[in-house]
Amino acid sequence: MTAPSSSMPQFREDFAKAKHIVVLTGAGVSAESGVPTFRGAGGYWRKWQAQQLATPEAFEDNPSLVWEFYHYRREVMGTKDPNKAHIAIAECEKRLKSQGRRVVVITQNIDELHKRAGSENILELHGSLFKTRCTKCEEVIENRLSPICPALADKGAPDPEAKDAKIPVDQLPRCKKAGCGGLLRPHVVWFGEGLDPAVLDSAENELDQCDLCLVVGTSSVVYPAAMFAPSVAARGVPVAEFNPEKTGVTNSLGYHFHGPAGSFLPEALARHPSEPE
């Protein structure tokens, strides 16, 4: 198997010809905006790793602690902004739309930075920090309250010495639907849960149709997303990985650009000389 290319001019030629571009993004692109990833060394909130709190079992056992964790993550996003990579993707989508070409983002991130950057065609595989789902009536709504409920105000400090708030369950976020009042949970996909079948179907449909795929800031270890890029590459479609590290799928792809996405995407997705002014 030949090593992936790192030729930007060659990638730009593939980009110029593409009519349907899929951009797969993961935690790495948000990390460039300073968003905590809770993965790898130092990836702790208090003494917990995300995979210990982001589970249905943890929520059932200690909903106050899990809501503290997600409240912290929601509040952090108020201090973060889209970076050069998010903006390059959004600007590319807008420009190519006027040419009858399609750009869609399929993201594992839950922080909505792509939306804030201006992207419109977004499939959120793992949900959103800013949506809730009722554990009783299942209603999903957008929720940008800060704090999400009064009891969580000034809670969620990440310091290992911080005391758990131990908020009574009736003071945690509750459903406002008439006659319900059920406990709300973050509308995100937790470890041990399956992806929304409708979102997964839409993602697979976009991948089946794309003629260029970019893999941006993802470790390519979380399934099923880890198999998206190799599957596209296997049918002969150019796939370019933008990542500071090589991953388990790198050698099956056409391109690998080694470094932060924000260093490469503005050039990679800029207007090509063959495009109309």
Q: Which residues contribute to the annotated binding site for NAD(+)?
A: 26-45, 108-111, 217-219, 243-245, 261
| Residue set of the binding site | 26-45, 70, 73, 108-111, 134, 137, 175, 180, 217-219, 243-245, 261
Q: Write down the catalytic residue from 20, 126, 187, 256.
A: 126
| Residue set of the binding site for Zn(2+) | 134, 137, 175, 180
Catalytic site residue 86?
no
Please state the three-class secondary structure of the chain as a single string: CCCCECCHHHHHHHHHHCCEEEEEECHHHHHCCCCCCCCCCCCEECCEEHHHHCCHHHHHHCHHHHHHHHHHHHHHHHHCCCCHHHHHHHHHHHHHHCCCCEEEEEECCCCCHHHHHCCCCEEECCEEEEEEEECCCCCEEECCCCCCCHHHCCCCCCCCCCCCCCCCHHHCCECCCCCCCCEEEEEECCCCCCCCHHHHHHHHHHHHHCCEEEEECCCCCCCCHHHHHHHHHHCCCCEEEEECCCCCCHHHCCEEEECCHHHHHHHHCCCCCCCCC
| Residue set of the binding site for substrate | 70, 73
Active-site residue list: 126
